[in-house]
Structure 1
Amino acid sequence: MKVDIYSKPACSLCDEAIAVVERVRARIPFELRIISILEDPAALQAWRYDIPVVFINDELAFKHRVEEAAVEAWLLRGKDGTGVAPQGSREE
């Protein structure tokens, strides 16, 4: 399993999202990449006003706010293959 977080420096929501994901990672192992939108022109164009953006296994899971229980539910869904997105995900 892998989690990608699109963020940028000096973003308090991004820092909070990373902390939430790291807490979950302490219980459920997965690969984590933190990608600065400032270093990726396509990401900057796509996510400039929506960070943090979290992808789990290449699927858009969260924007703006991330809740620990919801991240855990997404990861557990990936393990059991139910294909049902947990509540609280893909915030608009």
Structure 2
Amino acid sequence: MVTLTFLTRADCHLCETARKAIAEAVAGRDVNVDEIDIDSDDDLSGQYGWDVPVVLLNGRQHSFHRVDTDRLSKALAALGA
């Protein structure tokens, strides 16, 4: 199973767009999606403060600011999801 971690924050319009792209890319796949508000974690906020939304696949950064559905779908397929 692939783990997709979606780093976000409240009132982030790019995050709303990314959430839709992620939902489309993971539909029907064996993917565990964890959504984390970076403002609830000082380390994440310090590391990714200006880069949200961020998508991590199995802990590795895949994208930030904008999520391309096709690119994410290909990456998930390459990981076996």
Q: Specify the TM-score bucket, using the shorter chain as the normaliser.
A: over 0.9
Whose Rg is larger? 1
What is the aligned partner in structure 2 of residue 12 from structure 1? 13
- Within a 5 Å distance, the mapping from 1:1-92 to structure 2 comes to 1-79=2-80
> Which digits, 9 at most, give the CA deviation of each residue in 1:34-88, with x for residues without a partner?
10011010000001110001001111100100011011011011119xxxxxxxx
Point out which structure has higher relative CO (alpha carbons under 8 A, 6+ apart): 2
Give unpaired runs (5+ residues) of structure 2: none
Give unpaired runs (5+ residues) of structure 1: 81-92
Detail structure 1 runs of 4+ shifted over 4 Å in the superposition.
none
Q: So what's the TM-score if we normalise by structure 1? A: 0.82
Is the strand fraction higher in 1 or 2? 2
